[in-house]
Chains A and B, each alone.
Chain A
Amino acid sequence: MACLLEAPLRISVLSEVTATSRHYVDRLFDPDPQKVLQGVIDMKNAVIGNNKQKANLIVLGAVPRLLYLLQQGSSSSELRAECAVVLGSLAMGTENNIKSLVDCHIIPALLQGLLCPDLIFIEACLRCLRTVFISPVTPVQLLYTDPTVIPHLMSLLCRSQRTQEYITQIFSHCCKTPEHQTVLFNHGAIQNIAPLLISPSYKVRMQALKCFSVLAYENTQVSMTLVNVLVDEELLSQVFVRMMQRDQPIDMQLTAAKCLTYMCRAGAIRTDDSCIVLKTLPCLVRMCSKERLLEERVEGAETLAYLMEPDVELQRIASVTDHLVAMLADYFKYPSSVSAITDIKRLDHDLKHAHELRQAAFKLYASLGSNDEDIRKKITETENMMDRIVSGLSESSVKVRLAAVRCLHSLSRSVQQLRTSFHDHAVWKPLMKLLQNAPDEVLVMASSTLCNLLLEFSPSKEPILESGVIELLCSLTQSDSPALRVNGIWALMNMAFQADQKVKGEIVRALGTEQLFRLLSDPDSNVLMKTLGLLRNLLSTRPHIDQVMSSHGKQIMQAVTLILEGEHSIEVKEQTLCILANIADGNTAKELIMTNDDILQKIKYYMAHSNVKLQLAATFCISNLIWNEEDGEANAMTGSQERQDKLRELGFVDILHKLTQASDPNLCDRAKTAMQQYLA
């Protein structure tokens, strides 16, 4: 059996202690059932709190024998219960113990045992199952393999306070995916567990509450059902509010706040509901205070960040509540220098939580600063904040790096911060480093932040350009993740805005026309929009237009035609027409349009389109084509005359004339300006 052949290390330990341990196992094989029972009871007393003994017994093969006795119909109910107790005790040991037990198929055996009518035996089985399932090494899927298990567990909820405690604890640990939530929901988890929230037993109340928090997490169906549930004629949300009262145990306050947070995020409770604004939010802020345990502070901050992420009003309230912004600065003070000297245990504890604390604080700062400029200012003004972010970006823990870059991203939405603190602290350096080699989720955030840093007014733009970012961004556009493709092309677009010829040339060269046109047919419309934006930025100022068009004119015109013919949103088409307008502004590039009757027909079509934006863009394009070159030479003059004539032939003048009567003042003006060119 798998559990017999554990690790070689075990076997060396074995020799010393076999004798006594062997005796316990041998007694399980006694022909006299009474002696077997006594043997099991003695074994129970021997293993309590003794991890070594537990390991020995497992290696010596006690588990299969115990399971055999437990499953045997001929065993007395007392013996079966004692077997389950011993197994439960063995499970309390190390993770290796759990692995061995699971390998011996303890889970199906115990689940089978639950069908027995004897309550004491059921409780012993449940206790053991609970211990096994809450271990991270146990695959939670094992709970769902037999479809009869969940309904049976639901039916056992009414048996005793112990069954309630163990079953709800199993549920809350085994509900990890939306599928699990649905399975539990469909088997009446809410109706069965809700009454337990007012159980006289604290443990039962607490486990029931935890169940609801995992059930409601990102689950609209569950959350919507929860708001209407009544417990003893009281709405569930009110029960949760009561559980958040300050005299309740912290664990209960925190978990109740989580439930309400998840219900709120799932849309079941409005963000301006007083139970959120006046109860949940202050409760979570309290959880962040110095008085709380480090674990509680982490959970509190993460939950609060999640709660207010989409709502600027909650962000504003939280930012002033109990000086949260300053309170969070304390999260970075672990391990504190004092604890390092005085107390090794404390130092260990601090170290273990230091990463968690930092990432939680970054997350919360990110959430706080995602919308409001004043809050962002407050955050950056917090002691050493920018330094902390900078060092967070290069921490070993991915979680911290991700949270730090999220925070940076949130702050990078501020024009003022981009101009000042971001530049002062050269945040682009660690950011660039981060982009070299990071998991996708970090890359998404980092590249998104980079987009903002590459905005025209950002002083960091120059140094970033010099660091050879273009290749990196181009490689992002080839990523499988749409988010990364968008960010890559977005950053390039920002980079190309009002850039000099050299940069533009480099972008086109690095990206390659092939990739550029592949992006123009990207299934993600965001990618398409930003690629068009890039094209538009590349095609600005006359010499640049002519240069780009002379080398890539054919492909660009093809792509433009395709997009204008395809099924695309108004925004995409507008952007495309703007590109045409830019092309029409070039000296030589103009001819690419003038000689393309197909395109001219399309422009004509859009001038008469029902959407004013498209009409405007198309008219702008025509206006550029018929423009008289004031500073041009004689032949350019004649060129414009020729174009005007051709366009008149094609009936554009009539359309322009009509458009001078348009109701939209912008369109009307544009048309009038164009008409004046004919008169000139």
Chain B
Amino acid sequence: MSGQSSGCGFLMSVVVHGDSALNEQENELNQQLRRLYPAVNELETPLPRSWSPKDKFSYIGLSQNNLRVHYKGHGKTPKDAASVRATHPIPAACGVYYFEVKIISKGRDGYMGIGLSAQGVNMNRLPGWDKHSYGYHGDDGHSFCSSGTGQPYGPTFTTGDVIGCCVNLINNTCFYTKNGHSLVYVCLCPQPNLYPTVGLQTPGEVVDANFGQHPFVFDIEDYMREWRTKIQAQIDRFPIGDREGEWQSMIQKMVASYLVHHSYCATAEAFAKSTDQAVHEELASIKNRQKIQKLVLSGRMGEAIETTQQLYPSLLESNPNLLFMLKEGLPALVQKDLHFLFCCKTFLNLIHEHDPVLDQINLVFFLCPGCSPGFDGSCCNGVMSSKAHPSPHSHKPCPPGPALLAAAAELSSLNGSHSLQQPNASTDVDMEVDHFTNGVTESSSNGFFNGTSKHGAQTEDCDADMEVESAQSKRQLCGGSQAAIERMIHFGRELQSMSEHLRRECGKNSVNKKMLKDAFSLLAYSDPWTSPVGYQLDSIQREPVCSTLNSAILETHNLPKQPPLAQAVGQAAQCLSIMAHSGSGSCAFAAVDDYLH
């Protein structure tokens, strides 16, 4: 029987020990859970992964990574019943949630109960007996819905059977399965935060849980597919606009404003004409924005800055809040200092190619906070990003590594100048230790753990790179121009000190910090384009800068910095997250992304 065979695999893999096996299993579980419940944000609402050693009655024993449950009481009367809940409740954003329990042994009498219960329900009971608790019991096959008397429900179950429990958070029902076959629905009270629960009552009873660690016997994904189709059909058939043409003209307005916003002048003009609409921005203004954006996107940062400067003289200097701000009420207000962002991108561009216009610009005017009195104020954002984007390395504490500028310095040495002892650089190294606790050492293969080992490693590096250069097979930094490289290093230092300044003024800003760090990391590579941080040189990375700048310009003209279309998308996404919070399961099958492609 299929239930049996899968059960064997189940047992065996639990027996396998050792870190690698466990890690692998954990990875698989994570992958499986992400696949099953893509709408769940596990930072807010973690999924159940095992039984809780804290949330159980004393007669319950746990083993095998808290997945196996056994009974250790006397089991004389129903008063000896004992339950255990999973570590976390079932998030509503699952839409449909499922777990399975395999009966390893029915023990003396086989009084096992599989089901659900809310936090705080008495654990000295079987699931289903009390309010906010539901269960399917093995001895009589009855279903208990918050009542001491069960209803005839399904077959009995015993050793070797795999019992599943499926919660449908869309219509507030639940059903159980036996060996992959679904039994009929039971209604649940609309009750958020139910926990997977098992209860045992007589000695010898042992059950194993499967929260996604192993393939399920029941085809839950097929059931989910049905509900996804149902929800999507519901959305598709949602009645819109009573009045004729209202809906259409609204859509047209949104499209037109979107085109104008992104300064697709010709398209916007044509579209407005054919749909008989007015454009609320002067054509010249749209064209200006288009020009700047083109420059940014093609990587000609210098020209972009210059043009911005010409067309919108006050923008970059005086506007203190060039924020990349999502719609109101988004979970976190993510803010970026446009200016800083811009500078970083310029730096990246310096690495990328030789930009002749930039040479002519007094960089310091823009970049050095000390030289630009107005700038001090402008970069001072009261609100900083409340959420750090965890860097992929950040979970590992690193020994004080080399600072980024040290890396930059090495780069210069790599290009011929062997003077390591640049005073500025060395002081910066010391200063930056607490800032940049990780990153470079890990991504670059040579591992500069401290100052002493630096030298030897660096010569190696040098040799390697010289070979490469002689082969002439790679793109070269700054087009290979020594002067340009030096200018870039200089620019980098200024960027660094600007960051320092920002930090002092505004407190830590991990986004900026990460950005800068990643940018500098590039210098550590002989071929930055193919390095792990090389993505920054991809032109697609310029798009956020481009749109931030665009929004800033529009704001100065008192135009919305976001097109209504984007706002609607943001609103929809926000709506889904509110649904997830308020326990409405349909949000699981209505991802905005599904409709954007």
Contact = CB atoms under 8 A, between A and B. Distances in A.
B155 A320 contact: yes
A19 to B, nearest CB: 41
Q: Specify which of B154, B181, B225, B229 lies most central, judged by the most chain A CB atoms within 10 Å of its CB.
A: B181
Interface string A300-318: 0000000000000000010
21 contacts: A245-B222, A245-B225, A246-B222, A246-B223, A246-B226, A247-B225, A277-B180, A278-B2, A278-B180, A278-B181, A278-B219, A279-B219, A282-B181, A317-B181, A320-B178, A321-B181, A321-B182, A321-B183, A322-B183, A322-B184, A323-B184
B503 interface: no
Interface in A261-294: 272, 274, 277-279, 281-282
A247 B2 CA distance: 24
Contacts of A281: 181
A320 B180 CA distance: 12
B222 A323 contact: no
B228 interface: yes
A245 B181 CA distance: 15
A320 B225 contact: no
A245 B2 CA distance: 19
Q: How large is the interface on A (under 10, 10 to 19, 20 to 34, 35 or more residues)?
A: 10 to 19
A246 B178 contact: no
A279 B154 CA distance: 20
Interface residues of B, number: 17
Interface in B552-580: none
A327 B180 CA distance: 19
A323 B225 contact: no
B229 A246 contact: yes
B183 A274 contact: no
A514 to B, nearest CB: 55
Interface string A330-351: 0000000000000000000000
Interface of B: 1-2, 154-155, 178, 180-184, 219, 222-223, 225-226, 228-229
Nearest to A244: B222
A320 B183 contact: yes
Contacts of B1: 272
Interface of A: 245-247, 272, 274, 277-279, 281-282, 317, 320-323, 326-327
Contact of A247 (B181, B184, B228): B228
Contacts of A327: 184
A278 to B, nearest CB: 5
B223 A323 contact: no
A279 B223 CA distance: 12
Nearest to A322: B184
A247 B229 contact: yes
Contacts of A282: 181-182
Nearest to B181: A321
A323 B181 contact: no
A278 B223 CA distance: 13
Given A320-B154, A321-B182, A274 B2 contact: yes
B222 to A, nearest CB: 5
Contacts of A321: 181-183
B183 A323 contact: yes
A27 B226 CA distance: 55
B219 A322 contact: no
A246 B589 CA distance: 15
B2 A277 contact: yes
Contacts of A279: 219
A281 B179 CA distance: 14
Nearest to B226: A246
A279 B509 CA distance: 54
B567 to A, nearest CB: 32
A438 B290 CA distance: 87
Contacts of B226: 246-247
A552 B547 CA distance: 111
Q: Specify which of A246, A317, A321, A327 lies most central, judged by the most chain B CB atoms within 10 Å of its CB.
A: A246
Contacts of A320: 154-155, 178, 181, 183
Contacts of A245: 222, 225
Contacts of B181: 278, 281-282, 317, 320-321
Contacts of A326: 184
B229 A322 contact: no
Nearest to A313: B1
A314 B323 CA distance: 64
A282 B225 CA distance: 15
A247 B589 CA distance: 13
Q: Which are the 8 A-B pairs with shortest beta-carbon distances?
A: A246-B226, A323-B184, A247-B225, A247-B229, A320-B155, A321-B181, A246-B222, A278-B180
Given A246-B223, A278-B180, A282-B182, 17 more contacts: A245-B222, A246-B226, A246-B229, A247-B225, A247-B228, A274-B2, A277-B2, A277-B180, A279-B219, A282-B181, A317-B181, A320-B154, A320-B155, A321-B181, A322-B183, A323-B184, A327-B184
B364 to A, nearest CB: 61
Nearest to B217: A278
A246 B225 contact: yes
A319 to B, nearest CB: 9
A62 B493 CA distance: 93
Nearest to A318: B181
Contacts of B229: 246-247
Contacts of B155: 320
A322 B180 CA distance: 12
A503 B233 CA distance: 69
B499 to A, nearest CB: 51
A321 B228 CA distance: 23
A282 B182 CA distance: 8
A281 B154 CA distance: 17
A322 B182 contact: yes
Contacts of A272: 1
Nearest to A246: B226
B282 to A, nearest CB: 48
A312 to B, nearest CB: 14
Nearest to A283: B222
Nearest to A374: B155
A247 B182 CA distance: 17
Contacts of A278: 2, 180-181, 219
Nearest to A278: B180
A76 to B, nearest CB: 41
A277 B222 CA distance: 15
Nearest to A319: B155
Contacts of B178: 320
Contacts of B219: 278-279
A186 B532 CA distance: 61
A245 B222 CA distance: 6
A537 to B, nearest CB: 41
Contacts of A247: 225-226, 228-229
B177 to A, nearest CB: 9
A539 to B, nearest CB: 48
A279 B180 CA distance: 10
A326 B228 CA distance: 27
A320 B1 CA distance: 17
A247 B232 CA distance: 11
A277 B154 CA distance: 18
Contacts of A322: 182-184
A389 to B, nearest CB: 22
A279 B181 CA distance: 10
Nearest to A272: B1
Nearest to A321: B181
Contacts of A317: 181
B568 to A, nearest CB: 27
A274 B184 CA distance: 21
A279 B182 CA distance: 11
A608 to B, nearest CB: 50
Contacts of A274: 2
Nearest to A320: B155
A281 B225 CA distance: 18
B151 to A, nearest CB: 11
Q: Specify which of B2, B184, B225 lies most central, judged by the most chain A CB atoms within 10 Å of its CB.
A: B184
A277 B2 CA distance: 9
